[in-house]
């Protein structure tokens, strides 16, 4: 069973360009989470999605950032008009959803996408 896959692993963009980060969850997982790790900072939650639904986007910047998890295909984190401050490692995690009694399940992390904005 392949783990969480993210691509590209490294992405270089110039200021003003768009960045698209993809995440394929583990087989059988229907929940996806995105986190961002800025240099010298801890990981920060961005957004939690289920298929075709955004459940919690409390950590998403209000502008330029969007996320989707379509019925078919990977989850996409999209950053429009990137700025140097967007340079960070972006991690995706997936889980199978809720367990007995609605208990949240363990999140499994991908290797991350390192975004560098020139």
- Residues at the interface with another protein (CB under 8 A): 4, 33, 35, 41-45, 48, 55-56, 58-59, 91, 93, 98, 102-104, 106-112, 114
- Cβ 97 to another protein, closest distance in Å? 10
- State the nearest-atom distance from the C-beta of 16 to another protein, in Å: 27
Nearer to another protein, 73 or 97 (CB): 97
CB of 73 to another protein, least distance (A): 21
How far apart are alpha carbons 13 and 50 in whole angstroms?
Answer: 28
- Cα gap 66→3, rounded to integer Å: 24
Residue with tokens 């801890």: 42
**DSSP assigned state of 43:** E
What is the distance between the alpha carbons of residues 28 and 35, in angstroms, rounded to a whole number?
21
Question: 82 or 95: whose CB is closer to another protein?
Answer: 95
Phi/psi for 27 (5° steps) reads: -60, 130
Q: Which of 93, 89, 98 is nearest to 8 (CA)?
A: 89
Q: Considering the complex, state which of residue 7 and residue 17 has its C-beta at the smaller distance from another protein.
A: 7
In whole angstroms, the minimum distance from the beta carbon of 41 to another protein comes to 7
CB nearer to another protein: give 3 or 17.
3
């Amino acid at each position: 069973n392949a783990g969480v896959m993210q691509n590209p692993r490294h992405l270089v963009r110039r200021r003003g360009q768009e960045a698209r980060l993809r995440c394929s969850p583990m087989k059988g997982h229907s929940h996806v989470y995105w986190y961002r790790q800025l240099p010298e900072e801890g990981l920060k939650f961005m957004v939690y999605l289920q298929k075709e639904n955004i459940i919690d986007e409390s950590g998403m910047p209000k502008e330029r950032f969007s996320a989707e998890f379509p019925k078919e295909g990977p989850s996409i984190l999209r950053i429009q008009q990137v700025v140097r401050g967007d340079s960070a490692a972006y991690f995706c995690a997936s889980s199978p959803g809720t367990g007995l009694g609605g208990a949240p399940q363990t999140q499994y992390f991908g290797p991350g996408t390192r975004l560098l904005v020139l």
